[in-house]
Chains A and B, each alone.
Chain A
Amino acid sequence: MGETAKKVKQSLGYRLTVIAVLAALCVASTLACTAVGSVKYTVLQVVEALFDSQAEAWMLVWNVRLPRILCGGMVGVCLSLAGCILQGVMRNHLASPSTIGVTSGASFVGYLTLVAFPQFRALLPVGTIAGSFVTTMLIYLLAYEKGVSPVRMILSGMAVSAMFSAFNDIIRSFFSERLADATGHLVGSLNGTVWKDLAMILPYMAVGVFVCFFLPAKMNILMLGDEMANSLGLRTEWFRLFLIAVASLLAGASVAVAGLISFVGLIIPHISRLIIGSDYHYLFPTSILLGYSFVVICDTIGRIVLPVGELSVSIVLSFIGAPFFLYLLRKKNIA
């Protein structure tokens, strides 16, 4: 990229335009994705149904498509923000909730919660958030030695991930009857999402997003390395711990409603950084908006691509995400 193109990218006008365009994309994708499916509507019909309970499309739009789409969007917001934060904490662009095994840890504790307290469904996000936090801390401690080594981070993530998947399989086979109606939840699909699920993820997402408004200045300082950040007066150890807690809150909440959804937290922060640069003041909003549209669109693709039945969103994301991950691994300056 030329020096002029880079200067344009730094300008406030460009950045605000990008953010405005992405916000419009969120609205557009929500409407368009609500319209398509086995029964097709026009966008106009969808808008009509939103405000008029007598409209023809009302039932399907309100009870089936809208909760699923909004929920998918929020999962996207949570995962991409969590990815953004984790990449900052580890100071490494390969970090994300799924690549370092955070989501598998979350779903493991999620399963445990469901098995132990089947009657308290509201505890599920608490369990998945706790699982995220413990896993992230574990990976961080395993990978840390004078800074996080990318290789160690990815390898420990793989190992931890494999271990938790094994635990998950054990739980699934021993307690299959207790988990009968819960399997849809933790396997990485948005099928059958209802308003109750939205209510489950919304408060956690809201807190996470709200907190992120106060983080950008500190995140930017953290990017200068621990020595520099410390001498500028940032308590890096505490700040890291805090960030891990916020990322766990977001990733955990997402796992509670949608299960193991990979690659969103890896791809979205990357693309955001490409289009808006690495200043967290703009990176956070860009990731939030892009993450929302990305999951909504991918879920809709999965919904309509097959003549009969549907692909779960995690499969669609893996098709897009896995090659992207390999591409990142090939790039030289990953650390």
Chain B
Amino acid sequence: MYFGFDNISIAYGKRQILENVTMDFEKGRITTIIGPNGCGKSSLLKTVSRVVTPQAGSPVYEGKPIGQYTPRELAQKIAYLPQVHVSPRDITIRTLVSYGRYPYKRFGRGLTEEDRRMVDRALELTGLTELEDRMLNNLSGGEKQRAWIAMTICQQPEILLLDEPITYLDVGYQVEVLELIRELGERLKITIVMVLHDMNFTARYSHRIYVLKDRRVCSYGPPEAIIAHDSMEHVFHIDSQILRDNRNGCPFLIPEKLRAEQRT
């Protein structure tokens, strides 16, 4: 397994969140994890940054459980962008992006030439070069998200995990951020795993989709197989129309009515 989750179970106290979840992500592809609220999508991603410790199982990188790597080694391979970001309000974009070099920092040393080049490159790739001296709290939602993505790119990761990267953004910024993610994935050959709530964006930007439901993986496949009438009814208890978006080459979901009697 290149990167994935091996038989992970997670419980918070007595509440079982996930049971024996195994996922195997295709290298260089975008995989999106979807599922009802509270199904453990975010918790699953958090096991990689070791904020959540699974009861059993582990994320796996290059065939080995991540516990066998030092946090530093791992940070050079896997970058993670949490849903909620905290930071001091008075730092510039450039400073934030430079924090992405932390996994490469030598004890007692400042930024090297190489680090500066990587910061420049990350700023350029995310179109933030002009804005590099702007303060974080003077940015629009989309710019802020781009700055954080630039920081993760600066880590030079092979794998990028994004927890609901478009949740707090308006539709314009949502498209902007997802386009950026897709473009970065292709250009830098990064394997991307994200959690999304919007089915149509999921259909449009993912190569593969994992569906979590009732603590387990309930299905896996390309958008055409997952964003489908029966699957949506089973997972979200909705009646839906599925159209075909020919311009983007993906299915398009129109949710109809809730099958209330089935929702428990």
Q: Which A residues form the contact surface with B (CB < 8 A)?
A: 3, 6-7, 9-10, 91, 214, 217, 220-221, 223-228, 230-235, 277-279
Beyond contacts A221-B99, A232-B75, A232-B102: 11 other A-B pairs, Cβ-Cβ < 8 A, are: A3-B138, A10-B92, A214-B107, A220-B99, A224-B85, A228-B86, A230-B51, A233-B70, A233-B103, A277-B88, A279-B88
Known pairs A7-B133, A230-B50, A279-B91; A224 contacts B75 (CB<8 A): no
Known pairs A10-B92, A278-B88; A232 contacts B138 (CB<8 A): no
B169, CB-defined interface residue at 8 Å: no
Q: Which of A6, A91, A279 contacts B95 (CB 8 A)?
A: A279
Nearest CB on A from B183, distance (A):
22
Q: Is the CB of B102 within 8 A of A234?
A: yes
> How many residue pairs between the two chains, A and B, have CB atoms under 8 Å in the bound complex?
78
Q: Is the CB of B82 within 8 A of A227?
A: yes
Q: Which of A214, A220, A225, A234 contacts B82 (CB 8 A)?
A: A225
Q: Is the CB of B102 within 8 A of A233?
A: yes
Report B-chain residues with C-beta under 8 Å of the C-beta of A233. Answer: 70-76, 102-103
Q: Which of B76, B80, B88, B133 has the most CB of A within 10 A?
A: B88
Report A-chain residues with C-beta under 8 Å of the C-beta of B105. Answer: 217
Nearest B-chain residue to A213, judged by Cβ:
B108
B48, CB-defined interface residue at 8 Å: yes
Q: Which of A6, A7, A214, A221 contacts B102 (CB 8 A)?
A: A221
Q: Which of B78, B87, B107 contacts A231 (CB 8 A)?
A: B78
Q: Could you list 13 A-B pairs, sorted by A, with CB under 8 Å?
A: A3-B134, A10-B92, A224-B99, A228-B80, A230-B49, A231-B48, A232-B102, A233-B70, A233-B72, A233-B74, A233-B103, A234-B102, A278-B88
Q: Which B residues form the contact surface with A (CB < 8 A)?
A: 46, 48-51, 70-76, 78-82, 84-88, 90-92, 95, 99-100, 102-103, 105, 107-108, 133-135, 138, 155
Nearest B-chain residue to A223, judged by Cβ:
B88
Q: Is the CB of A232 within 8 A of B103?
A: yes
Report B-chain residues with C-beta under 8 Å of the C-beta of A227. Answer: 46, 49, 51, 80, 82
Q: Is the CB of B86 within 8 A of A225?
A: yes
Report A-chain residues with C-beta under 8 Å of the C-beta of B82. Answer: 225, 227-228
Nearest CB on A from B90, distance (A):
5
Nearest CB on B from A133, distance (A):
25
Nearest B-chain residue to A9, judged by Cβ:
B90
Report A-chain residues with C-beta under 8 Å of the C-beta of B70. Answer: 233
Nearest B-chain residue to A274, judged by Cβ:
B90
Report B-chain residues with C-beta under 8 Å of the C-beta of A217. Answer: 102, 105
Q: Which of A3, A9, A232, A277 has the most CB of B within 10 A?
A: A232
Report B-chain residues with C-beta under 8 Å of the C-beta of A234. Answer: 71, 102
CA distance A91 to B87 in the complex (A): 10
Known pairs A233-B75, A234-B102, A279-B91; A224 contacts B86 (CB<8 A): yes
Known pairs A3-B135, A223-B87; A230 contacts B95 (CB<8 A): no
Nearest CB on A from B195, distance (A):
13
Report A-chain residues with C-beta under 8 Å of the C-beta of B72. Answer: 233
Report A-chain residues with C-beta under 8 Å of the C-beta of B49. Answer: 227-228, 230-231
